[in-house]
Chains A and B, each alone.
Chain A
């Protein structure tokens, strides 16, 4: 996995709450058997005026001029500023894949849906929870200043504004460690292969029906 240590980038404001995974990447694009190529279809139904199809060249589609990512000032954004309960809905990892493929590295919101939050870490994307008042303030500053950038430091667990204001955020140790070092967590788990086998052996005795493959 790609490591994440520090990142500085343009902020795009996604000003609506409960953004669900169907909105992030509509289902027709889940038919792909690949992990890449979802960027042009990120927020497809909000971004374009027509109905998107898989494997289509998006450069000629009619775009919705009101949608935030279609505005020139946000086109190269890599930090997404969002509202409550971002990423609710399905477990599809295509949602973080699409955000990543578009170029996002950080998502900041007052709260995230659990599965989505977890999926981000597996893909080198950093979801950051900040208080609603701070998020509100960042929305105002982003909208007021073209080219507004934030600096995120995972080691120090801080988000810093252009004027030097700094906010700290929480992240659990294991996730932080994997992300900082770009670790493959399957490899980390397999270091405990003996413990897994010991658990299985004990469980086979106490609950043999769990190891019965059925008919």
Chain B
């Protein structure tokens, strides 16, 4: 018998994931995969038109669970 997935439960799952990722902590969801935040430091992109400094940023990546 499965537990019904209510809106409240779904919102709670999303909120937990968002909070943990905001703290840059990886989160493993059993049966699904692992979410984590990858930090990308500031970089300088050089093009024909000149160089641009890009600020640092975080990116969310997901590694699916392999069977």
**B partners with A:** no
Interface of B with A (CB < 8 Å)?
A: none
